[in-house]
Amino acid sequence: MALCLNISYSDQNEDFSSCLPFDCWGSVERQMKFSDSDGPWYLVSLNKPVIYEGTSYSRLLLMSRWANSPIGGNQPTSAFILLVPPGAEPASSDSFKQFHHVAWGMVSARSA
């Protein structure tokens, strides 16, 4: 069973806060690392697309901002939120910097 995550806005871009639905959640497609970051990063497929600056995003990249506080752990964690453009397929050979770091969020495991 895939890990499901609740995702909420936290800080760093007030313009994005209204774009993230109140009931935003997503399923982890895969965990990955990038060539310029240890990660782990989580590629997440959203239950509802996020529309930001006129573009609809159905996937995000998330990574915990806090040491020893993994995404999907027992406690919510602060995370970097990066937008994955439509049609993009992130690969470990990529730089995480090619994806738009839109905000910080809070992420927690979604209860069944």
pLDDT at 110: 85
DSSP assignment of the chain: ---EEEEEEEES-HHHHTTS-TT-EEEEEEEEEETTEEEEEEEEEEEEEEEETTEEEEEEEEEESSTT--TTSSS-EEEEEEEE-TT----TTS-GGGSEEEEEEEEEEPP-
pLDDT at 58: 97
* pTM to 2 decimal places: 0.93
Q: Output the average pLDDT for the chain.
A: 93
> For the segment 15-30, what is each residue's pLDDT rounded down to a tens digit?
999 988 778 999 999 9
